[in-house]
Amino acid sequence: MVLEKINCANDIKKLEKDELPALAEEIREFLIHKISVSGGHLASNLGVVELTMALHLAFDLPEDKIIWDVGHQSYTHKLLTGRKDGFDQLRKYGGMSGFPKTKESPCDVFNTGHSSTSISAGLGYARARDIQGKDYSVISVIGDGSLTGGMAYEALNNASQLKSNFIIVLNDNNMSISENVGGMSTYLGELRTNDVYTGLKTGVTNALTKVPVYGDRIVKRIRKTKSGIKQLFIPGMLFEEMGITYLGPVDGHNVAQMVKTFREASKLNEAVLVHVITKKGKGYAPAERHPARFHGAEPFEIETGIPKNTKKKPSYTDIFSTVMRKMGDREKDVVAVTAAMPDGTGLKRFRNMFPERFFDVGIAEEHAVTFAAGLAAAGLIPVVAVYSSFLQRAYDQVLHDVCIQNLHVIFAVDRAGLVGSDGETHQGIFDLSYLSSIPNMCIMAPKNKWELSDMMKFAVKYSGPVALRYPRGEAYDGLKEFRAPVAYGRGEVIYDESEIAILAVGSMVRTAEEVRQQLKEMGYACSLINARFVKPIDEELILEIERDHCLIVTLEENVKSGGFGEKVLDYLNQAGSHAKVLNIALPDDYVEHGNVDVLKQEVGIDAGSVLKKIVAAYIGL
Ligand SMILES: Cc1ncc(C[n+]2csc(CCOP(=O)(O)OP(=O)(O)O)c2C)c(N)n1
Ligand SMILES: CC(=O)[C@@H](O)[C@H](O)COP(=O)(O)O
Ligand SMILES: [Mg+2]
């Protein structure tokens, strides 16, 4: 076994050349086996095995700095830097992260998780290196999907001014999570597939520069030519015109070719983009056939690729997907926008039925929101379906472009709450705080699957910015009998008793119901209120509750700071109330990766912890 010889960074350099193909094969077997048990980002990782090996052969770690964009493809890097044992606890609470983490290894030099940040971070490293008089290499590895994100272009624009070495490796597998989209993707496709371009740049320019005196001039002239003909000679001209040297395309499964190219690239005193072509899912037939399905895989049977857990209730995303499909039929003004997540957000069905009213804008949340603002200003009703943590990126667009103009944009905020194994970069635990600080925004959270549907219908009829937040995973199908019509800013009283009142938001209504039952068994009378609206809060109802109960408990799957509980407390204070209020929310902190149930216990929002907190507060009155 060759993989056994790899125990720390640079061990790969001790291998014989003819051992490298076996190493690649063993890494793939290892990853397939481990991810089939733990789940994880399989297809992207299988695609970069040779690319990662080549980087580790061409550079010295940890002195040289490799920054992985998104970081979901860093598993081989983890293996080659002595973290093989970590795969038994991959993405588990307290175990190894599925993303680069500086605290895990000196070879992880920048934490990632959200896309399109690697060129900016790498450029920062390169500038710091130069100022500090150091001479390490900096390599940012970015995928073709991540190259659709605005930050990547801002960084490329800035990198063009660099007069020292900085390598950008473009890992082009012609896929984002789903099919990649847009002009850049088309452009890369041409570079990839047109034989005329392949190898010609190096070939032609090398040949020309060898021609004494005139060769150099001709190359310079070709570079300066404004006609399209230059594309015939110099692939990657778009990057070249920006001032970024382009090398490639290079076969991303040919280690020797890549090592050679990286060594050449590291000699240039400028920003260099090495265009590497890889196959997503390489070496595992089901993942090659269905790269989107194996992008973020649940545990699966290796022989068939079929998920181990097939018996699942519909998720909130499934419900949203169905609602959107039906709404598409009824409401001709409804259009849907996603930032590269048609699968994850459930918009794929809407896309299939109403392709002309569906927009995948690439990994470009900022653009998605302002684009939606434009659609709304022109009279359509855009639904922006986006994960809570990715919407963070578009805060200003929500504020500046949607809310100041009070435009009717619907935000379907998926993965709101703890998402689990992706960890701190992906937990959707801030949206109630960051959205509710914005004037004109209306925020709702459904208690169960029927309410998600009712709230979507309400949102379409509403006029103005409106967000609906719902969590990852199975949709709650309890409390079906409670289905009072959704009315603006009004909560829903589910059980009206006395003593204790629990005011719960969205996903926490289910927990509150469980806690209420237990309190009842313990002899306490407890009301249960489904808040429904986080902004505006139902002030009238809160005052009513205050009159009839001695303890008011707020419950939400969001950080405490700026959340629902704080708003309720604030309002009661302003109203001169002296009611005892217990705010149960997540601590104002980041939450690492792990199983959601485990994480809920850790942060104290599982039923057991909530019960203890309520009893303690009540006894202490
Ligand atoms: C800001 C942001 N939006 C969305 C995502 C979700 N996401 C993770 S990976 C990915 C696709 C990345 O494609 P690419 O960079 O080509 O990498 P590949 O998986 O193809 O290797 C997306 C959309 C994210 N991580 N960050
Ligand atoms: C790496 C990344 O950002 C996505 O792949 C994310 O892991 C998807 O998460 P879901 O599984 O919740 O769609
Ligand atoms: Mg890709």
Look at residue 490 and give its three-state secondary structure. Answer: coil
The confidence score (pLDDT) of residue 193 equals: 74
Cβ neighbors of 612 (< 8 A, separation 6 or more) are none
Whether cis (ω within 30° of 0) applies to the bond prior to 249 is yes
Between CA 387 and CA 410 the distance in angstroms is 13
Position 310 confidence tier, pLDDT thresholds 50, 70, 90: confident
Comparing 12-16, 121-125, 531-535, 575-579, which segment has the lowest mean pLDDT? Answer: 575-579
- Told to judge if 539 belongs to the known catalytic residues of this protein, a careful annotator would answer no
pLDDT at position 232 over 50: no
Cβ neighbors of 203 (< 8 A, separation 6 or more) are none
Between CA 594 and CA 44 the distance in angstroms is 21
Distance 296 CA to ligand 2 centre (A): 6
| More confident of the two residues 265 and 221 | 265
Position 227 confidence tier, pLDDT thresholds 50, 70, 90: very low
Query: Which residue(s) pair with 272 in the sheet?
Result: 167, 245
Distance 146 CA to ligand 1 centre (A): 6
Residue corresponding to tokens 């992880």: 108
Position 196 confidence tier, pLDDT thresholds 50, 70, 90: very low
Share of the chain above pLDDT 90, in %: 90
The beta strands (E) that lie in 86-234 are given as: 138-143, 166-172
Query: Which residue(s) pair with 40 in the sheet?
Result: 297
pLDDT at position 549 over 50: yes
Look at residue 95 and give its three-state secondary structure. Answer: coil
ipTM of this complex prediction, to 2 decimal places: 0.99
pLDDT in tens, 566-584: 999 999 999 999 999 999 9
Write out the two tokens for 492. Answer: 């829903």
For the chain, give the mean pLDDT: 94
Cβ of 451 below 6 Å from ligand 2: no
pLDDT at position 211 over 80: no
| More confident of the two residues 190 and 532 | 532
Cβ of 363 below 6 Å from ligand 2: no
User: Which bin fits 74, alpha (ψ -120 to 50), beta or left (φ > 0)?
Assistant: alpha
Ligand 1 atom closest to 43 (CA) = 19
Which of 101, 393, 415, 472 is an active site residue?
Answer: 393
pLDDT at position 421 over 90: yes
pLDDT at position 531 over 80: yes
Query: Which residue(s) pair with 527 in the sheet?
Result: 501
The confidence score (pLDDT) of residue 574 equals: 96
Mean pLDDT of 496-512: 97
The confidence score (pLDDT) of residue 190 equals: 87
- CB burial string 415-439: b at 16+ within 10 A, e below: bbbbbbbbbbbbbbbbbbbbbbebe
Ligand with an atom nearest the CA of residue 48: 1
Ligand 1 atom closest to 44 (CA) = 21
Cβ of 296 below 6 Å from ligand 2: yes
Given ligand 2 and candidates 70, 74, 177, which is best to mutate, with the most ligand atoms within 8 Å of its CB?
Answer: 177
pLDDT in tens, 140-171: 999 999 999 999 999 999 999 999 999 999 99
Q: At what angle do helices 150-159 and 118-131 cross, to 10 degrees?
A: 30
pLDDT at position 202 over 70: no
Please name the residue ranges forming H helices in 462-552: 508-521, 539-548
Numbers of helices and strands, H then E, in the chain: 25, 17
Say if residue 352 is exposed, middle or buried (CB neighbours under 10 Å; 0-12, 13-18, 19+): exposed
Of residues 146, 145, 91, the one with CA closest to residue 298: 91
Distance 404 CA to ligand 3 centre (A): 36
Whether cis (ω within 30° of 0) applies to the bond prior to 106 is no
On whether the CB atoms of residues 517 and 478 are closer than 8 A, the answer is: no
Mean pLDDT of 399-410: 98
On whether the CB atoms of residues 552 and 581 are closer than 8 A, the answer is: yes
Between CA 415 and CA 472 the distance in angstroms is 4
Comparing 231-235, 240-244, 333-337, 417-421, which segment has the lowest mean pLDDT? Answer: 231-235
Q: What number of other Cβ atoms are within 10 A of residue 381's Cβ?
A: 22
- Told to judge if 415 belongs to the known catalytic residues of this protein, a careful annotator would answer no
pLDDT in tens, 69-127: 999 999 999 999 999 999 999 999 999 999 999 999 999 999 999 999 999 999 999 99
DSSP label at 401? I
The confidence score (pLDDT) of residue 222 equals: 52
CA-atom Rg of the chain in angstroms: 27
Residue corresponding to tokens 């690239």: 265
Sheet holding 442-444, edge to edge: 358-360, 334-338, 381-387, 410-414, 466-469, 442-444, 533-535
The confidence score (pLDDT) of residue 600 equals: 98
The confidence score (pLDDT) of residue 388 equals: 98
DSSP label at 527? E
Amino acid symbol at 356: E
Ligand 2 atom closest to 114 (CA) = 3
- Told to judge if 356 belongs to the known catalytic residues of this protein, a careful annotator would answer no
Of residues 51, 19, 278, the one with CA closest to residue 11: 19
539: phi then psi, degrees, rounded to nearest 5:
-65, -40
Look at residue 325 and give its three-state secondary structure. Answer: helix
pLDDT in tens, 30-68: 999 999 999 999 999 999 999 999 999 999 999 999 999
pLDDT in tens, 436-486: 999 999 999 999 999 999 999 999 999 999 999 999 999 999 999 999 999
Of residues 311, 359, 364, the one with CA closest to residue 337: 359
Look at residue 582 and give its three-state secondary structure. Answer: strand
On whether the CB atoms of residues 591 and 418 are closer than 8 A, the answer is: yes
Of residues 183, 599, 609, 575, the one with CA closest to residue 417: 599
Mean pLDDT of 538-545: 97
pLDDT at position 365 over 50: yes
Look at residue 46 and give its three-state secondary structure. Answer: helix
Among protein residues, the one with the nearest Cα to ligand 1's atom 16 is 145
The confidence score (pLDDT) of residue 167 equals: 98
Ligand 1 atom closest to 340 (CA) = 23
Look at residue 519 and give its three-state secondary structure. Answer: helix
For each of the domains in the chain, give its residue range(s) and CATH number, in order of start.
3-192+242-289 (3.40.50.970), 200-234 (no CATH), 316-469 (3.40.50.970), 492-619 (3.40.50.920)
Mean pLDDT of 385-405: 98
pLDDT at position 172 over 60: yes
Mean pLDDT of 584-592: 98
577 is in an annotated binding site: no
Position 213 confidence tier, pLDDT thresholds 50, 70, 90: low
Task: Give the number of C-alpha atoms closer than 13 A to the C-alpha of residue 112, restricted to the C-beta side.
Answer: 26
DSSP label at 398? I
Of residues 480, 467, 468, the one with CA closest to residue 440: 467
Position 400 confidence tier, pLDDT thresholds 50, 70, 90: very high
Position 384 confidence tier, pLDDT thresholds 50, 70, 90: very high
The confidence score (pLDDT) of residue 206 equals: 52
